[in-house]
Amino acid sequence: MEKETLPIAERVARTVAGEPIAACLGRLWARDAWTNNLLVVVQDPSQRVSRERRSLRGQTFAVTRVSKSLFERDVHRGALGEFVAGILLEPHATVFGAEYLDSHEMNLKVRVVKEELENLDLRFHELMLELMIDPRFFFHARMQRRAKIDPAARSAYLRLLSNGTDVDSYGFGRALGKLASLGLLRLNGYAKVTPKLMGQLPKIRQRAVMPFREVELAIRRLATYGISGDFLGPSFVQDISKGFEMVPSEEYNLPDPKAYLFLPTESGLVSMDDKRDYEELISSEGSLGGPASVKRIGGALNFVYLLEFGDGDRRKMVAKTYQNWYGLKWIPLTIWAIGSQNFDILGEKRLANEYRMNRFLRSNGLNAPQIHHVSVPRRTIIEEYIQGRGFDQIARECLSGPRQDLLVPISSLGNEISLVHQAGATLGDSKPDNAILDDQGRIWFVDLEQASEGGNPAWDLAEFLYYSGHYTLRWGRMKTMTRAFLAGYLRSGHRAFVREISSAKYKRVFGIVTAPHIIMGISKLCASYG
């Protein structure tokens, strides 16, 4: 903003309004190269939003007047769709009333940060506690929401970017600092959500109406725009069309706000906008250590590949791409398991579960694969390959004949699952092949795409036991294995969850794969743990 413009703007502000208490000058709403956007806040409570054009000493101003009460309602609640308060989000210069405007700029940006975090939670709930948020995210996310409903705002936003204007100085540092002082965020160059803030975000039922909040804000903004233009030439329609004309002629893509969101991995921070697939990552220019051999190792419903690096003792990773399971495995099982367990079928949701719960279990001292890369746009995750024996193989061998030696790892698995529950999580899909015993006797949990914090611990126990039961028709052997598993679980787990296994809602689900007498035997045995 040119310094000589400010005293001219102050003179205009004091002549067009009675009792002005603050004024600021913006450049983002300018309709042409000779017009400045001047907001004047007045004490008069009867003053509605009005706009007019004034010229003085070769400078032209589009003047917006608003009462103090209306301005503050727009700051705190978006009562006018941020039509007047929005100037405080953009590059602007204070003409007078700095203390008043600074205070309300802080209040507005705190509200915007909270609303943008709510929007993030709506889309990426499972990832919220892991996200590393560049403060510039809040500026770009909000500006793009406004650009979608106001062509003039879009053109000005594009010009701001194309001119190379440094938006960092118009960031949200002070607002983030205030939220950090309240224990809602942690700051280390990035903003990180705390459990305290998560507890204050809208619950599931409240999230359903959040998209309509954006629609309401847009309607209020456009309505205010139209009504306020009674005394301003050009008209509202001409003003909008002028905005289209102001769009730079060259192709210019808006930055994706997700480019300012990052997820931590063993290989460093990864942008949520990272669209690289595993082939690009293992190339000589990639970030995973150079060329590797690629072999598909399974996954009828997900694409799963084994990546091997180097010669001799080769380093191994697994790349998984999550498909949406419409009409596939989890659809019929979800229908069949209604009342017993809910399953996530969307690829993006399952990717988020796997990423979040791998890190959650590791942070609680449990074994889960390290995450080396994650691509949310491609629904792909690259993680450590765990070498060892799956518990499906161990369970089969244990049930095929007397194998006392195998009851030890079965009991240890029960104990490990109890530690998962003790940490406040559940596996969601706890069938035996989703646990691995490595050569050092450590138990690893893999394929955590149905895992979550909270959840139903009894389901984890029921799925492991009832599903394992389909490996045999001999109840005596299954009884021995069940007792070993439950003995391990009850070292730290609750008997109430064991007793719940006998509920008909679990027996019904697994009755289609496991022999009836095995189902009834497990049920009666678990019910005896009173």
Reply yes or no on whether the pLDDT at 315 is more than 60.
yes
| pLDDT tens digits, 440-495 | 999 999 999 999 999 999 999 999 999 999 999 999 999 999 999 999 999 999 99
Q: What is the reported pLDDT for 110?
A: 95
Q: How many helices (H) and strands (E) does the chain have?
A: 20, 20
Mean pLDDT score of the chain, rounded to an integer? 83
* Segment of 57-66, 143-152, 183-192, 320-329 carrying the highest mean pLDDT: 183-192
Q: Which amino acid is at 286?
A: G
Q: What is the reported pLDDT for 233?
A: 43
DSSP 244: H
Q: What is the reported pLDDT for 53?
A: 83
Which residue from 251, 218, 260 is spatially nearest to 83, judged by alpha carbons?
218
Q: What is the reported pLDDT for 224?
A: 66
Phi-psi region of 365 (alpha: psi -120 to 50; beta: other; left: phi over 0): left
Confidence of residue 285 (pLDDT cuts 50, 70, 90): very low
Q: What is the reported pLDDT for 61?
A: 85
- Helices 404-422 and 475-489 pack at an angle, to 10 degrees, of 40
Cα dihedral angle (40, 44, 47, 52), rounded to 10 degrees?
A: -30
Q: Which of 11-25, 194-208, 227-241, 297-311 has the lowest mean pLDDT?
A: 227-241
Please give the Cα distance from 413 to 341 (Å, whole number): 21
Tokens of 320: 């998984």
Which H or E run contains 298? strand 292-298
Confidence of residue 30 (pLDDT cuts 50, 70, 90): very low
| pLDDT tens digits, 400-453 | 988 889 999 999 999 999 999 999 999 999 999 999 999 999 999 999 999 999
Instruction: Assess whether the previous peptide bond of 234 is cis (omega < 30° from 0).
Output: yes
More confident residue, 195 or 245: 195
Q: How far is CA 153 from CA 117, 230, 243, 470, 495, in A?
A: 23, 20, 7, 63, 61
More confident residue, 246 or 293: 293
* Segment of 120-124, 199-203, 248-252, 277-281 carrying the highest mean pLDDT: 120-124
Q: Which structural domains are found in the chain, ordered by start?
A: 5-104 (3.30.460.10), 108-259 (no CATH), 274-384 (3.30.200.20), 389-527 (1.10.510.10)
Reply yes or no on whether the pLDDT at 244 is more than 50.
no
Reply yes or no on whether the pLDDT at 42 is more than 80.
yes
Reply yes or no on whether the pLDDT at 109 is more than 90.
yes
